[in-house]
């Protein structure tokens, strides 16, 4: 298929919805539904603006895979809370959000939007893989800067960056990345490793911030070449960053593997959004009424129908 694909970094979006919409919005049984309603409104907004052929809700089956922790123990360490046993850890999900997460998955499924995850993989890895399973343009919807690495103008892969909100998102292409950071999208992994990222527990290389990382990548191209230059006393790298790079060699080797999203998961290519059957519409209506989703549910259905119906009509054989 060559139409547009939207890949949702689902957790990023439902956290944004939860914190952006009052939790006074509740179902008839008192369950908060602000994140559910907010996510449905995000779907409606994105479907209306981008008219996708397919949408996939990419899921964190494992939000902190052990293989990444083994490589870099500090990875997302600040996002976990120790259990009384001192062994088990879990993501800090607010109590009012936890019961909404399965409702979000159910709502998306009823709308015909598949929820896709993979064992020992984060949503980022699902996104990195599905980007390569689609022949047409791709919009990746996220508030996570690490996904700038998948931006590819030659294939029409962009990031809809939601740091300022879904309705005010930035459209991130190669020019945007160059203007913001002075690097190319394919250099973002090496850039992030050097400058560090506290939100993911990446310490970075001491003394190397955004500017120095961009200058090094501009001169040498990638971290492998930068590391070789650091080991060469005749290279142009100044003494302080040279020393830091040499002292951080083990961290760099591990962190590059941690930050780079996987593109090799065993996932099928996305399918086109289905036409709403009467049975599906009735089931979703019942679900929406049970959970008090109100206008958000109506807007999501209307937006998806507006996208799917014209395509279906064009595909219908003439009488």
**For 235-253, what is the mean pLDDT?**
97
Which whole number is the average pLDDT over 62-73?
A: 97
Q: Examine the pLDDT at 244 and tell me if it is beyond 90.
A: yes
| Residue 142, token pair as written in the block | 């996220």
Residues in the chain: 319
How far is Cα of residue 35 from the mean position of the Cα atoms in its chain?
A: 17
Q: Report whether 279 contacts 19 (CB < 8 A).
A: no
Compare 90 and 105 and report the one with higher pLDDT. Answer: 105
Measured in whole angstroms, the distance separating CA 144 from the mean position of its chain's CA atoms is: 6
Q: Which tens digits make up the pLDDT trace of 93-104?
A: 899 999 999 999
Q: What is the pLDDT of residues 143-197, one digit of tens each?
A: 999 999 999 999 999 999 999 999 999 999 999 999 999 999 999 999 999 999 9
Residue 90: its pLDDT value, please? 46
Rg (CA), the chain: 22
pTM: predicted TM-score of the whole model, two decimal places: 0.94
Residues 220, 226: contact at Cβ < 8 Å? yes
Angle between helices 278-290 and 294-315 (to 10 degrees): 170
Report pLDDT for 313. 61
How far, in Å, CA of 17 to CA of 24, rounded?
A: 13
Reported as a pLDDT band with limits 50, 70 and 90, residue 85 is very low
Flag whether pLDDT at 124 surpasses 50. yes
Q: Residue 267 has which token pair?
A: 């996932």
Mean pLDDT, range 210-227, rounded to an integer? 98
Range 259-281 average pLDDT: 95
Pick the closest to residue 108 from 26, 14, 32, 25 (CA basis): 14
The distance between the two most distant Cα atoms of the chain, rounded to a whole number of Å, is 77
Residue 16's pLDDT is 97
Up-side HSE of residue 61: CA atoms within 13 Å toward CB? 11
pLDDT > 90? residue 12: yes
């Amino acid at each position: 298929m060559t139409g547009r694909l939207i890949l949702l970094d689902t957790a990023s979006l439902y956290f944004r919805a939860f914190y952006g919409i009052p939790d006074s919005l509740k179902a008839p049984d008192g369950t908060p539904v602000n994140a559910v309603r907010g996510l449905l409104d995000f779907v409606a907004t994105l479907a209306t603006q981008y008219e996708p052929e397919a949408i996939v809700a990419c899921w964190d089956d494992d939000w902190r895979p052990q293989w990444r922790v083994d490589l870099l123990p500090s990875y997302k360490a600040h996002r976990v809370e120790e259990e009384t046993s001192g062994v088990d850890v879990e993501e800090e999900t607010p109590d009012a959000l936890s019961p909404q997460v399965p409702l979000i998955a159910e709502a998306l499924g009823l709308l015909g939007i598949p929820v896709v995850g993979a064992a020992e993989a984060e949503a980022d890895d699902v996104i990195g893989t599905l980007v390569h399973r689609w022949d047409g343009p791709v919009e990746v919807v996220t508030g996570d800067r690490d996904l700038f690495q998948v931006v590819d103008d030659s294939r029409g892969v962009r990031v809809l960056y939601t740091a300022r909100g879904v309705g005010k998102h930035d459209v991130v292409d190669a020019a945007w990345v160059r203007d913001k950071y002075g690097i190319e999208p394919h250099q973002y992994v090496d850039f992030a490793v050097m400058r560090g990222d506290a939100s993911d527990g990446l310490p970075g290389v001491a003394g190397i911030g955004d500017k120095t990382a961009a200058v090094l990548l501009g001169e040498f191209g990638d971290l492998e070449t930068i590391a070789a230059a650091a080991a060469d006393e005749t290279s142009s790298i100044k003494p302080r960053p040279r020393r830091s790079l040499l002292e951080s060699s083990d961290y760099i080797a591990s962190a590059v593997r941690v930050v780079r999203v996987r593109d090799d998961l065993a996932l099928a290519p996305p399918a086109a959004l289905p036409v709403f059957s009467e049975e599906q519409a009735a089931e979703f209506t019942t679900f929406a009424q049970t959970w008090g989703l109100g206008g958000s549910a109506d807007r999501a259905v209307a937006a998806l129908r507006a996208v799917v119906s014209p395509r279906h009509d064009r595909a219908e054989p003439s009488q």
